Structure 1
């Protein structure tokens, strides 16, 4: 096979399999009552509701309680409501996958399906939601794991662009967008020299490169601040889209998501951003325990990536990644949990939270780390992330404890819309279960016996 033909086939196949055939769910038209459920509201300090009910209508939660379902004012529930008997099942808010590239990439080997990065070191005007593929085959896979919302991060450069919160249901990017401009993503440079097996540059060359990068950060943000002041003084000033997108980040009204791992990176990034009056949110956070006081002093939340990962260094405990969320939360730091993995593994988000719960994080706090906390960090804590009257009916019904590996999502609602929990993989499973299903009688014999070739 020639290289050109190989590339053509790869692009053709990626185009086929990057298109989900699942039709987006329509808007809710009938009230729904979920009753006899074990309800995890994810409200801070709230207890789990036993034998609970939730009534949702027009995409919004209208009543929550225990026992016999009633309206928010004690009135009888709607007679035309669809009832869901959830005896023995657990109800939670929909999960939110943070710091993901879901929808931005389908097949790594095919550049045409990879929209994670842009050229150049500084592109804050890039908005992730515009590049998301609503027909991505990875979206239904994530929904099967309970992920109904995703905070999508652009990648590459020093300032990667704007993170966007999307709902995993819709025909177009406009349908998907919940918060198009949830915050600006920044990649902070390493502060310690990397070992020779990672780079061919020596320590002096790496230090020189780091200083150049930090100077570039200062120059770019100095120019952005000058532009913001000039625009405030003269609104008729010509618009620079790069700097325009940073104006509300510079004044702290919109967060700055800083990707940093080591303690040195975190310390320098937090001091740099807070000195400029910005509101940093740390993404990664492996070295955060060493700078807890600094994070507390500046009220910096942490999106912990990769709870299901190995220690970074030989001297670390084997469970350092597993216990990281618990250690940070115990100090009073607001913690969200993300997979830190490729988007095909967003379906495993709940397992990262479950591991954190197994290693010291209170179970309801671990659940909140993939529901309430990321919703608050995205600026939608008044609409999503908890099961409360007036909030979006974005819910998951599990056949067991949501933090148990044996449990599965059985039903899902996103803004009240009933979500189809199927994917290309589940369709293949059903196909081959039928192919290899046990057969009986003469039909089985005739079907399974290969036909003989005619005698020559």
Structure 2
């Protein structure tokens, strides 16, 4: 073929004569390149133009194939992803994934959801009921119910199914901005964990598409939570690599590429299309600094990371310059330095970043790390699209706003405190950022938090002050905009992908769950729609926490008083002071550690009150609530588990010849009472959130350990050891995979050893002997149903020990046996995500299934609620709120599960002979309720407490 011949260059003597012709043709080429950038046109032009071909320099031969390929790549430098016009879209390009498959061939994907309450991706509620029409994998129209246009659409679309929403909320599918689903498959097994690439701290060349596992069960679970699209990013590295947005629906073909949101069957490969949006991941701070400790040549400091970043970007910058010089030479009719367009797959993504064609997602927490990232971006001339995690971002809004490119913050509503760079996190961060006009989105970082709980991030953010429209948009429309995909997802509008969710209540209400989920118009979840809401309040928007006004602060003069009056109480949940809900409010008079009066009118007791602060707490919607009691992992033992210097230390660090100390010696059993570190930030924040009593075992960090030690119970506001409630609460063992260690590599040996320890010490005055006789409860941390069966058998054999199952996320499978043997369960956590093998059968409470709480209650098992991460202790009442909403329990049962039942199960109730309770404005199990008063030992210790009291590492006196 003519086009396949090799270009030959003219004799040297003719070059001067042809220079003017070369320049002229080069100018013509440039004009054509701008106005008619068609590869076919250029091919014909250069094939037929003998003068130009013959005028090329003779330094080397350039094949027509290489030339054509180079021209295409030169042109592609200026091609950016183009937004579509949804109004004129005819069908979803992913539609044929389903219609062309034999398993779905003939299925009619047109339907209408009628009488819906529509909440769009901008967080704005549509006035009046609406009908949502779906056809060809896209939204065909959202119109007023009963309108003429709805009648017209009914006739033109001819929907195969008509679904009556019965007034329920319909929203766009939720958009997850930061996930590792598919590359960190659940349950987590080494064979399918591809989240980390540790060959080098800079791995910009890796792609999550190459590792995405369609067999990850979390994909379906995440979709059941209403999440229809997830940006899947690589993890941890300084420059981590390329991410992709996947739809959370495995197609009939089981093709990974067909799960890509930007999949188009007309493309040769969605991975190669120059028109697709691209995303990359970077990381700052602790992750890239610590991840490569074993690599001698990898940076160990932020300074080293800064150098490596610059060095890598300089190489990408050099490659970009070589490409531009090559293209310039071709366009000017000059000799390119190389026969082919300069390329290097190692730096391709970074070159595209420098050209402004890649959206960055940068994992950074600390203020100075964020500022360093911005400095790098300005130095090399690329934009920062979004800073992820960013728990410190609320402290530097002006620095963020000064950075070019309208930087967005993608953050959490619940994370804080587990390591230094998270230590300054605040639940008010989303509100503060929004108040400073900074665009925010919310994410889960699945599996760090279950991807199915993305909606909970929005709920918590709203409950702490983020406006409702911004909170919902942060997981829908705003997230789609940050991804550059707001022309397809994140909204319920004509021409958008048919990704939508029908909810059982307002999505920002606690415990909201999808009833129906559609992705590209394909049904993913189909739960029957109830005729009515259980509670009309669930229809409305939940409240947000109100600011503490000057008038409220004035009541703080009551702090320290043992004599006070509270008015406007609707209900008491105290077991010593029960009352049913009533429209008639009551008053409470407290004096000398006792309640003198609790009735409609307590005026006759007012004269008994003598206080220097003659003020009365008057409420509009008051409740009296039991104070929280939390089983924690590190409270009072260690501030930051990743920084062992901040507390007692970790038993895992004490080894002899790489073998843990001999636990068979009862004298070596560690007791948490000896390692308490009081007045910590975690304890202060827990206390001011209503969690007044703490049970904590010795620290068990990430290592595997059979014996943890003996827990202790103490008050969260204790300043000295007088705050200890009970020194020795329970002895804690781990049975299962996390209990495996060098001396005990199997579960069977763990149980055998536990039996031996108890039997050999049954008559002795030591921890194991006390445990055998039932004098010291045995807390058995395990999740596996099969392990629990073995422990029930052991209990029957030994008879006298008192077993407590902690964890127990599969306990519902053996509920009858647990109840028969009187073994209680402390669910830690009750809200599971099937993260590990031992919890793969847990109940999530989604897709119409019960929760573990519902199942255990039905089986007659005594249970309590705990959290498995200390960041959530301060949110214990929010956890109870969600538990009540998703489970078949009453408000009193939910509150008991985080207070009285914990105390009873761990047998510390007899050591608490005092009047402890909270007073709240608003029902304690609704978002937006506020703690008005904390009462301990009959003393009013706190009035309108700051939920995040100031804490200085080095306080100044």
TM over 0.5: yes
Which SS does the other structure have where 2:428 is aligned?
A: helix
1:88 is displaced (CA, Å) by 2.6
Match of residue 454 from structure 2: 349
Which whole-Å CA distance do the structure 2 matches of 1:232 and 1:139 have between them? 42
Confirm whether residue 102 of structure 1 aligns to residue 208 of structure 2.
no
**Alignment match of 1:145 (pick from 225, 229, 232):** 225
Contact preservation (8 Å) 1:62, 1:71 = no
| CA–CA distance in structure 2, aligned partners of residues 115 and 67 of structure 1 | 48
Partner of 1:184: 280
- Give runs of ≥4 in structure 1 deviating > 4 Å: 23-28, 69-76, 311-314, 421-430
Bigger RCO (CA 8 Å, 6+ sep): 1
Partner of 2:813 in structure 1? none
Closer, same or farther in 2 for the Cα pair 1:404/1:93, shift >3 Å?
Answer: same
Match of 1:321 in 2: 426
Q: Match of 1:55, SS?
A: strand
Q: Say if 2:220 is the partner of 1:220.
A: no
**1:309 aligned onto 2:415:** yes
Corresponding residue SS for 2:139: strand
CA distance in 1: counterparts of 2:501 and 2:112, whole angstroms: 13
In the alignment, which residue of structure 2 is the partner of 1:53?
A: 131
Deviations 1:228-284 (A, max 9, x none): 111222262442102112222112232221111011111111122133221211011
1:309–1:188 distance in 2 versus 1, CA, 3 Å: closer
Contact persistence 1:32–1:83 (CA under 8 A): yes
In 2, Cα distance between the equivalents of 1:89 and 1:47?
A: 12
Distance in 2 (alpha carbons) for counterparts of 1:130 and 1:69: 48
**Where does residue 412 of structure 1 map in the other structure?**
517
Shift in CA distance, 81/375, structure 1 to aligned 2, threshold 3 Å? same
| Structure 2: tracts of 5 or more residues without a match | 1-100, 263-270, 272-276, 328-339, 528-839, 860-957
Give 1:15-414 correspondences, 5 Å limit: 26=104, 29-43=108-122, 46-68=124-146, 71=149, 76-77=154-155, 78-107=157-186, 110-118=189-197, 119-169=199-249, 170=251, 171-179=254-262, 182-189=278-285, 209-234=301-326, 236-280=340-384, 281-297=386-402, 298=404, 299-305=406-412, 307-311=413-417, 321-342=426-447, 345-414=450-519
Larger Rg belongs to: 2
- 8 Å CA contact 1:25, 1:419 repeated in 2: no
How large is the Cα RMSD of the aligned pairs? 3.6
Deviates more, 1:67-76 or 1:325-334: 67-76
Cα deviation for residue 58 of structure 1 reads 0.4
- Describe the SS at the equivalent of 1:234: helix
Q: CA deviation at 1:66?
A: 1.8
In 2, are the aligned partners of 1:26 and 1:417 still within 8 Å (CA)? no
Contact 2:181 2:446 in 1 (8 A): no
Q: Are the structure 2 counterparts of residues 247 and 207 from structure 1 closer, same or farther at C-alpha, using a change threshold of 3 Å?
A: closer
* Contact kept in structure 2, 1:190 and 1:265, CA below 8 Å: no
Q: CA deviation at 1:130?
A: 2.3
Residues 1:260 and 1:130: Cα distance change in structure 2 (over 3 Å): same
Asked whether the 8 Å contact 2:169–2:503 carries over to 1, the reply is yes
TM-aligned CA deviation for residue 341 of structure 1: 4.6
Q: Secondary structure at the match of 1:133?
A: coil
Q: CA deviation at 1:425?
A: 5.6
User: Which stretches in structure 1 are left out of the alignment for 5+ residues?
Assistant: 1-22, 201-205, 439-456
The CA deviation at 1:361 is 1.2
Q: TM-score, normalised by structure 2?
A: 0.39
Decide whether the 8 Å contact of 1:255 with 1:278 is kept in 2: no
